[in-house]
Amino acid sequence: MKIAIVCYPTFGGSGVVATELGIALANSGHEVHFVTYKQPVRLELLNNNIFFHEVNVPEYALFQYQPYELALSSKLVDTVKLHKIDVLHVHYAIPHAYAGYMAKKMLQEEGIFIPMITTLHGTDITLVGKHPFYKPAVTFSINKSDIVTSVSDNLKEATLNLFNIENEIEVIPNFIDTSKYRNTFTDCQRSLMANEDEKIITHISNFRKVKRIPDVVKIFNEIQKKLPAKLIMVGEGPEKEKAEALCEELGIADRVVFLGNSNQIDKILCFSDLFLLPSESESFGLAALEAMINRVPVISSNTGGIPEVNIEGVTGYLSDVGNVDEMAKNAIKILEDDAVLEVFKKNAVENANRFDIKRILPLYEAVYEKALQFRFKNMH
């Protein structure tokens, strides 16, 4: 099958999911065309089955805002025609579903029917999409998609509650390629980061407000009062400077390392003992799943779809958003006893295996097959 994937190419869950899905589809013989404004960060290798088409938006002084949606829909029209694409899969409703629908309509004028699958990822619904400025357009483009998927049961519920949706929403969770992790636990080189007696606590995100970065620092502050520990903060974003200032203020700056964006997530998680994800909202929590497959238990909030991934008392603990004290107590409970930590680590990786790409890929393939039926129906 020839599949066009539209996604955000930068660091962030939806782009990672779209890219890893594209790679897995290509590995199983499909032809995958990424259409976005930059080569996706996790797409290191282009091969026979993977193509990248860059959307260019020429600067024009008259425009205060350059019309990306317009350029994207034009690029989609050209790509679909030139490469005889069978299905269009857009990740993140805004503005991709909107641009995808415009491309679909333009192609229809030329007698070409292209089914569109929209995958909802989280903030496109819970944060940005529900804003009154966007809501009518988001509702419209979800309803006009041929198939809609969401990454958790919770996000499906949220979408149905927040929008007037006429379409079915199919839940297909985030996934991980577990085969990549089988033999990676030999030497994690943890001595590069911490002394032998220190526990390593990690947070990875795009440092937006929704991640509650100050809570990460405050939880760590409590932990390090009880046991020797280091905090590794991975990512870039608007809340980073505030977090650095908070570490100074609390007198823990020497125990916190800000690494910036990294392509070495698995190496970092390999030497981590605990992952913190105290988010305000989180449709799934791919970062938690990536931690778990690397044998790292998770202390998180109990919001959104996180409880579908992190299991209370098994792979970590979950608390109400903002309950920093409870999160710190639970973290200490796991970290202070090496035998307990080992059990949580084992549980984390076992549970992460539920989300293996081998289980999830066929679900997307089935969706594409279903979408193709719409195409045949439309042609006859």
12 interacts with ligand GMT by CB under 6 A: yes
Q: Residues 92, 98, 175, 271: which binds ligand GMT (CB under 6 A)?
A: 92
Residue type, 25: L
Neighbours of 168 (CB within 10 A): 9
- For 27-59, give the DSSP string: HTT-EEEEEESS--TT-----TTEEEEEPP---
Residue 130 structure tokens: 């529900």
Residue 208 structure tokens: 């937006």
284 interacts with ligand GMT by CB under 6 A: yes
Residue 93 structure tokens: 């409703």
Nearer to ligand GMT, 2 or 42 (CB): 42
Nearer to ligand GMT, 115 or 305 (CB): 305
In the complex, least distance from residue 152 CB atom to ligand GMT, rounded to whole angstroms: 8
In the complex, least distance from residue 308 CB atom to ligand GMT, rounded to whole angstroms: 10
Whole-number Å distance between alpha carbons of 174 and 342:
25
Whole-number Å distance between alpha carbons of 290 and 90:
23
Cβ pair 48, 75 in contact under 8 A: no
Whole-number Å distance between alpha carbons of 99 and 120:
15
Residue type, 328: A
Nearer to ligand GMT, 40 or 224 (CB): 40
Whole-number Å distance between alpha carbons of 68 and 157:
30
In the complex, least distance from residue 127 CB atom to ligand GMT, rounded to whole angstroms: 7
In the complex, least distance from residue 113 CB atom to ligand GMT, rounded to whole angstroms: 28
In the complex, least distance from residue 11 CB atom to ligand GMT, rounded to whole angstroms: 8
Which residues, 118 to 147, sit near ligand GMT by CB under 6 A?
A: 121-123
154 interacts with ligand GMT by CB under 6 A: no
235 interacts with ligand GMT by CB under 6 A: no
Residue 29 structure tokens: 């013989």
In the complex, least distance from residue 321 CB atom to ligand GMT, rounded to whole angstroms: 12
In the complex, least distance from residue 157 CB atom to ligand GMT, rounded to whole angstroms: 13
- Binding range to ligand GMT, per CB under 6 A, among 191-199, 228-236, 280-288, 333-341: 280-288
Whole-number Å distance between alpha carbons of 246 and 252:
9
**C-alpha closest to that of 38 among 59, 20, 65, 57:** 57
Q: Residues 19, 79, 141, 206: which binds ligand GMT (CB under 6 A)?
A: 206
Q: Residues 2, 38, 53, 208: which binds ligand GMT (CB under 6 A)?
A: 208
Binding site for ligand GMT (CB under 6 A): 12-15, 17, 92, 121-123, 151, 174, 206, 208, 210, 281-286
